[in-house]
Amino acid sequence: MYQRALQGKEKAWGPEHTSTLNTVNNLAALYANQGKLVEAEQMYQRALQGYEKAIGPDNIITSIPALTTIRGFGSLFERQADIATARTMYAKALYGYEQVFGPEHAESETLRNKLYALNAVLKNNAIIEIEKHAEDVPTRSSPGINKPPSTSKRHKLFRKLGLKSRT
């Protein structure tokens, strides 16, 4: 279905129109959900390059569709176990969401939690150890990037990472 929509938009508006790029992003997400990671990466790359060309690289960080693509790229790299690249993409998306919506927005909080979990994976430590040594975790100008997630979210992260929590 997305393939047909993409073909129609490419024919009507061209391959670099932002509406076409939105469909490319949606197709990338579909491929990622289907486990077609190579195809997903190609589509995300196409969408991101298209957004950069259409709206300019300096404006990418304030474009919600482009931020969605950057976040999707982060998720894809996380699924591919490329944690360092996933972390970079999530950090870019977090910066953009905070610029557009503010640091208290739900998506900003979600991305901070993802970065927090990826920091734990990169350091190969339990989340509790990172809490004890928060000053050792790389910081950014973004407030709360190293802030531990709420208790319920922390327990979900523990389960996801296969760790045991202190209770």
d(CA 93, CA 56): 16
Q: 155-167, pLDDT tens digit by residue?
A: 666 566 666 555 5
Tell the CATH topology of 2-161.
1.25.40
Q: 30-78, pLDDT tens digit by residue?
A: 999 999 999 999 999 999 999 999 988 888 888 999 999 999 999 999 9
d(CA 80, CA 4): 28
Q: What is the pTM of this model?
A: 0.70
Tokens of 104: 């208290």
